[in-house]
Structure 1
Amino acid sequence: MRLLLLLSLISLSLYLTEGVTLVCYFSSWAVYRQEAGKFDIEDNDPTLCSHLIYAFAGLGTNNEIKVLDPYNDLCENWGKCGYDRFTKLKEKNIYLKTILGVGGWNEGSTKYSEMAADPAKRKIFIDSTITLLKKHDFDGLDMDWEYPTQRGGNPEDYVNYISLLKELSEALHAEGMILTAAVSAGKATIDPAYNIPEMSKYLDVINLMTYDLHGSWEPYAHHHSILYAHPNDTGETLWLNQDFAVNYWLEKGAPKEKMVLGVPFYGRTFRLKDETNTGIYAPAPNPGMAGPYTRQTGFLGYNEICEAQLTTSWTIVHDPDMNEPYAYYFPYNYIWVGYEDPDSVAIKAQYALDKGLAGCMVWSVETDDFHGTCHGRKFPLLNTLLEVLSGGIVTKPPTAPPKTTTTRDPSAPTTTTPRVTGAPGVHCSKMGPNADEGDCTHYYICDKDSSGWIEFEYHCSDGTLFNPVGLICDWTDRKCSQGYCPNDCP
């Protein structure tokens, strides 16, 4: 029986009732990407996922849950109503669970550690979370604290994280909502951070982040979501594969019926040292250059990878010791990328079935080939996962009946908050996020109306600085080590 704490809830996902869980993360900032990389809420296909997670909300200094991009997420001040549009996707699939994710890498750990340590602060966070979820018709919360006891956390997080999950679970279940969590696949993080038997009592789904196991922070090329250890792996590197992570979580007490295997829809890239060595462990002292959509060094979305392979002569390697491809292209700055394709995600989905796991999780839908440019159909990776997990038979879920609408009396008073314009767009050069070149602690969201550019100022959370490449607030240590934001670095 699946999701033991939810047996009293009605109308679980269609795929859950058929024995399949497919959890899909949606990066809300993808709406600010350029050209064919732009992905808005309505670009999601709600019939392909059992759970769809909106990433991310954060934690405010007052210990309340914090809306990180009010212009995109809310309706107030002529915002884009992202939360409400997202939960409205359930009209196309009445079994879909729409969940709000809180945390993520850029939020860090320190303030979550401080909140979890204090019962009064935990209550403030939980009460504000329930209010926000109910206001926008979410079906639950995904707790993405990266990571307890790590990155500015405290050893006491090992215990306090459980208290937070227990209280969150009780509050959410009382409202008919669910609690999920994204968790690390690295042994070095798992051991100090997670009391796995205890946390498993309170989580309905455990999203195992079995990716980013390797990357350009290492001086050699390696696949970041390799299923099994490579023959050349030794020592602690033998832990950096999906099979080890799954088995370790199971051995430590995680129930397999709650666990889902993370599958990345992106690759990790490296810049090779020379042409004579191109395999796993090839010397690669630098990250690969950024792609046209995601604009992040060391990273390419699958859509960026497959589109590049349509127009340039990449060497694609299917190593017999691996279940996933890697590719390299010398004229393109000696780039090397390890990634997933439709064949490899099918292998991973079958692995999840063979292990008796609940299903799979993807990060993230907007870097799939969602236009269908490369394979002749939209979302080829996501569709492949669903087909394997469903045994090759996919039943489309029913849509919600149309809602009765009423015509507003034009003479009735409006409750809409007047738009706040601030400065007349002096920092704007494009739609969406724009950097302040002299100050990385904040940024501007820019829009246009009949009068021209309008800008809205937003401040990055403590410990982060605005990344003008990724268009997000990035972790301060990483930005400063890469030479960004010198005026704001220690």
Structure 2
Amino acid sequence: MASTGVVKAGYWNCGSTFLVSDIKSSLFTHLFAAFADVNSSNYQVTFPTLYKLQFESFTQTVQIKNSGVKTLLSIGGGASGVASALASMASKKENRKIFIDSSITLARENNFHGLCLSWLYPSTTSEMTNLESLLKEWRAAVDDEANKTRKCPLLLTAEVFYSSAIGSASYPCTTIANTLDWINVLAFNFYSPGSSPTETAPPAALKNKQNGSLCVEASIKIWIDAGLKAKKIALCLPFVGWAWTLTNPLKHDLFAPAAGPALSVDGSISFAQVKVFITDQKATTEYNDTYSTNYCYAGVTWIGYDDLESVTNKVKYHARKEQQLLGYFAWHVGADNNWSLSQKAFDTWDKCANSKQ
């Protein structure tokens, strides 16, 4: 595996209706095209039919504005049935080979520089064992293909849960460290109206004095303690938030009484939509430095999200730390507001990484 350099990445979500041609790729070193499909019958990796042309032209399109940006094809995602398809694929060697070979072919034929596994999430010990086999075989195939073609090896990454264990099932951390160029730790969605329907909470706080395990700081520490070097970890910057319905509009702080989601079926909301809500509803905005989280409220609607302050603090914390991370990734670029969060993260990382403090 070659040295990657700093990762300032972003995901393009094909289901967001955000055009690839509108991505300001100059603000990123790496861009992920999400998500390629896995056929549940034959385990071939394919592009979603509705977005096939955008996937095929993804690399060519984003390199118009930034010729040096690297692109990765992310496979899987959180759609219904994807996790079971991946689990079935990983359970047999012959299935894994079909998946691996088709992923490499698809990436090469469409000029991607790498591949990303988005298995959300392997949840049993046997699935973790199968994941370990998949990663070992995938790395061997990637290296073999590079040797045969004399091309630079495809980058190999994965999205992982914010903890190195899911229930009693632990990720194969040693194999992850040995086979992947880096991991994208999904250190967000610690709270949502689904998991915390009766109380507002910070969805992606840097620190959490109320529950120390549900925050970015704890998440990254868990993965490092599990054996991943800091330089193998990219931090998630969520460009999405969650909206709750307040029980009492006069009680609107963090951990205020709530009655489930607001604004959408599950309460999910993009950063761009948050900014529209603030303007249209003349909402009050707050930043809590203890948790390093932003929130706003108007009437009985309360939204937790990341804005410039929380993004700045997260990037500062992980760019300046003694064990500096590899970088960060944004989920997802189409949810930004006039590229304000992307620009802030990009500039802050450089400033802090180059600082002697």
TM score, norm. by length of structure 2: 0.90
Q: Is 1:115 matched up with 2:89?
A: yes
Question: Residue 350 of structure 1: SS of its match in structure 2?
Answer: helix
8 Å contact from structure 2 (residues 164, 170) kept in 1: no
Report the counterpart of residue 309 of structure 2 in structure 1: 343
* 2:15 aligned residue: 29
CA drift at 1:139 = 1.0
Residue 50 of structure 2: aligned partner:
71
Alignment partners' CA distance in 2, 1:320 and 1:48: 26
The question of whether the paired residues in 2 share the 8 Å contact of 1:186 and 1:240 is answered with no
Tell me the equivalent position of 2:278.
309
Residue 311 of structure 1 and its aligned partner are, at CA, apart by 2.9
Counterpart of 2:343 (choices 383, 391, 397) is 383
Q: Is the counterpart of residue 131 in structure 1 residue 105 in structure 2?
A: yes
Amino acid at match of 1:263: L
Report the CA distance shift for 1:104/1:44 in structure 2 as closer, same or farther (over 3 A): same
The residue identity in structure 1 corresponding to 2:43 is E
- The answer to whether the 8 A contact 1:126-1:168 is kept is yes
**Structure 1 residues 393 and 358, CA, compared in 2 at 3 Å: closer, same or farther?**
closer
2:149 — aligned with what? none
Match of 1:250 in 2: 224
Give distance in 1, aligned partners of 2:174 and 2:203.
Answer: 27
SS of aligned partner of 2:256 = coil
Amino acid at match of 1:385: A
1:215 is matched with: 192
1:392 CA drift (Å):
7.5
Q: Secondary structure at the match of 2:125?
A: coil
| 1:269 and 1:337 in contact (8 A); partners too | yes
- Distance in 2, matches of 1:262 and 1:189, equals 18
- Residue 73 of structure 2 corresponds to 100
Q: RMSD of aligned C-alpha atoms?
A: 1.9
Match of 1:170 in 2: 140
Aligned to 2:116: 142
SS of the equivalent of 2:288 reads coil
Alpha-carbon deviations, 1:340-379, whole Å to 9, x = none? 111211111111112410111110100001xx3xxxxxx0
**C-alpha distance in 2 between matches for 1:260 and 1:202:** 16
Q: Please identify the structure whose Cα radius of gyration is greater.
A: 1
2:160 to 183, 196, 212: 183
What secondary structure is seen at the aligned counterpart in 2 of 1:325? Answer: strand
Question: SS in structure 2 opposite 1:286?
Answer: strand
Alignment gaps of 5+ in structure 2: 147-152
Cα deviation 1:58-103 (Å, max 9, x = unaligned): 2112343343521321xxxxxxx11222110224323211111111
Is 1:264 aligned to 2:250, yes or no?
Answer: no
**Does the CA-based 8 Å contact 1:157-1:193 persist in structure 2?**
no
Is the contact between residue 184 and residue 190 of structure 1 (CA under 8 Å) also seen in structure 2?
no
One-letter amino acid of the structure 1 residue matched with residue 37 of structure 2: G
- Give me the whole-angstrom Cα distance separating, in 2, the residues matched to 1:124 and 1:276: 57
Query: In the alignment, is the contact (CA less than 8 A) between 2:157 and 2:181 conserved in 1?
Result: yes
Which secondary structure does the structure 1 equivalent of 2:255 belong to?
A: coil
Q: Distance in 2 between matches of 1:170 and 1:94?
A: 29
Q: Which whole-Å CA distance do the structure 2 matches of 1:335 and 1:359 have between them?
A: 33
Q: Which runs of 5+ in 1 are unaligned?
A: 32-38, 74-80, 291-295, 373-378, 395-490
Residues 125/187 of structure 1: CA separation in 2 closer, same or farther (3 Å cut): closer
Deviation string, structure 1 residues 141-180 (Cα, Å, up to 9, x no partner): 11010111x2xxx421121111101111222233321111
**Equivalent of 2:293, from 324, 331, 334?**
324
Q: Distance in 1 between matches of 2:88 and 2:170?
A: 15
Kept after mapping to 2: 8 A contact 1:90/1:98: no
Q: Secondary structure at the match of 2:129?
A: helix
Shift of 1:310: 2.2
Contact 1:57–1:65 (8 Å) recurs in 2: no
Greater helix proportion: 2
| Percent pairwise identity | 26
Q: Which amino acid aligns with 1:29?
A: G
| In structure 1, distance between residues paired with 2:55 and 2:293 | 35
Q: Give the aligned partner of residue 361 of structure 1.
A: 329
Matched residue SS, 1:328: strand
Give the drift of 1:280.
1.9
TM-score, length basis structure 1: 0.66
Cα distance per residue 1:451-481 (max 9 Å; x no partner): xxxxxxxxxxxxxxxxxxxxxxxxxxxxxxx
Partner Cα distance (1:285, 1:272) in 2: 6
Q: What's the offset of the Cα at 1:56?
A: 0.4
* 1:325 shift after superposition: 1.3
How do 1:392-471 and structure 2 match up within 5 A? none
Alpha-carbon distance between aligned partners in 2 of 1:190 and 1:47, rounded to the nearest angstrom: 40
- In 2, the alpha carbon distance for the partners of 1:280 and 1:311 equals 22
Provide the rounded CA distance (Å) in 1 between the counterparts of 2:64 and 2:44.
26
Are the aligned partners of 1:186 and 1:213 in contact in 2 as well (CA < 8 Å)?
A: no
Tell me which moved more, 243-252 or 103-112. 103-112
Name the CA distance, whole Å, in 1 between partners of 2:155 and 2:346. 22
Q: Distance in 2 between matches of 1:187 and 1:214?
A: 18
Instruction: Determine the C-alpha separation between the residues in 2 that align with 1:328 and 1:337.
Output: 6
